[in-house]
Amino acid sequence: MSDHQDLGALIVSRICHDLISPLSAIGNGVELLEMTTPPRPELALISESVENAIAKIRFFRFAFGAASKDQPVGRPEIVSMLDALSRSGRLRYGWEVAQDMPRDRLKLAMLLAACTEQALPQGGRIVFAGQPDALRLSAHGPKVRPKPEAWEHLRRGTVPPEPRAGEAQFAIAAAMLRLSARPLWIETGEHGIEIGF
């Protein structure tokens, strides 16, 4: 990747890092209130919203932040993040990889999850399986609507000249695949997507 892209990833990492602390503090404050006051729907809503925000920020940090192949991420941390994401939206995630993951491989996996999420407008389930150097993503949902142009760039490992913000994950994943010269296969059907990488 270019220096510009690496700088962008460092900025994402910094922003995510700085946002987690105040959100965690809010969550801790809500927990204290829940311990000292009767159950209230407002507190439950705040608590759920904080948990959702923290889960998304953790996901964004892995997907769009800086990543080194020499920096492992423990399986419990990955599962915890995906479980929190599963509670916060229309998608459910499964992580069936037994080993810890190099950070750069996890980054690619989360980018591909973000690509797949766009193709599941009514939600569904995304499951990762395999080994760190040979992962497989399986996604299923009531409807699968991949954007042909974005997915074609991903298949070819090409970055569009002016990628849209909503499709940044496709551009970054394509650049990573091209840089690493890693093979990628994608199969799409009416109710599912399979990706090997």
pLDDT value, residue 62? 95
* Per-residue model confidence (pLDDT) at position 17: 86
C-beta atoms surrounding 71 within 10 Å: 12
Mean pLDDT of 120-125: 94
Rounded to two decimals, the pTM is 0.87
pLDDT digits (tens, 9 = 90+) for 105-115: 999 999 999 99
Long-range contact set of residues 29-34: C-beta below 8 Å, sequence gap at least 24: none
Query: Please, which pLDDT band fits residue 138 given cuts at 50, 70 and 90?
Result: very high
Is pLDDT at 171 greater than 70 in this prediction?
Answer: yes
Q: How far apart are CA 19 and CA 70, in angstroms?
A: 25
Model confidence over 57-90: pLDDT tens digits?
A: 999 999 999 988 888 999 999 999 999 999 878 8
For domain 69-197, the CATH architecture is 2-Layer Sandwich (3.30)
C-alpha 65 chain-centroid distance: 11
Residue 1: the pLDDT is: 46
